[in-house]
Amino acid sequence: MPSKKDARISAQVILRPASGRTIVPQTPIDSGNLALFLPSPAAAIATADALRAGGLETGPPVAVSLSVSGTVAAFEKFFDAQIRLGGDGVYEFVREGRSLGPELSGDQLPTTLRGSVQTVAFIPPPAFGPTDFDR
């Protein structure tokens, strides 16, 4: 079921490492290897500028990512995809009726982001903590 267009949502924008490496699941990031995955400050600024120019809000860049927030309608316009809430409680991107899942990467990204962004990801709600009481 499509989400309400005026609902405010947020995703995390994971920037491309300046080293040319790629952030992969097999290499967990910690303080020992973090430097290998940091983006260039210029890329972070350019990404934030592009998102804001598209009517979205951005959070502070921390480590490898920054947050992007806005209405469902603004997300759909900027990312050229429908946004819907999946059965697992995580938002997902939909194009031409086909779910692309909670992440966009590579050619799925808007052209303005492809040079600086590796992935845009919707975040699942926590498995425990405040969500334990959500009934």
Partner 1 sequence: MAKTRKREDSASPVMPARIFAQVSPRSIGGVSLFDAMGAVHAGTVANFRSEPRIIDAAVNRLRAAGFDVLQVTAWTINIAGSQETYEKAFRTRIEIERRTVIKPGGVEALAEFIECPDTPMPGLIAVAGTPFEEVIEGVAIEEPRYFMAAAAFPPPVPYWHLAVPADVALGLNAEKVHRSGISGGGIRVAMVDSGQYAHPFFAARGYRVAPVVLGPAAADPERDAVGHGTGESANIFAVAPDAELLPVKVNFVNSVGAFNAAAALDPQIITCSWGSSNRNGPLSAADQALAAAVAAAWAAGIVVIFSAGNGHYGFPAQHPDCIAAGGVCMAQDGSLRASDYASGFMSGIYPGRRVPDACGLVGMQPKAIYIMLPINPGCQIDSAYGGGAFPSGDQTGGDDGWGCFSGTSAAAPQLAGVAALVRQACPRLSPDEVRDILRKSARDVTLGNCNPASGGHPATAGPDLATGDGLVDAHKAVLLAKLRCLAPGPMVRREPGLGRNPPGAGAGQPVPLSTADIASIETLVIESELDR
User: Where do contacts with partner 1 occur on this chain (CB under 8 A)?
Assistant: 8-12, 14, 23, 25-26, 28-31, 34, 37, 57, 59-69, 91, 102-103, 105, 118-119, 121-135
Looking only at the bridges linking them, the beta strands covering 117-121 and 8-15 are: antiparallel
Least distance to partner 1 from the beta carbon of 37, Å?
6
Report d(CA 30, CA 51) in Å as an integer.
Answer: 28
Report d(CA 100, CA 105) in Å as an integer.
Answer: 10
Least distance to partner 1 from the beta carbon of 108, Å?
13
Least distance to partner 1 from the beta carbon of 125, Å?
4
Q: Which is nearer to partner 1, 23 or 94 (CB)?
A: 23
CA distances from 25 to 22, 103, 114 (A): 10, 14, 20
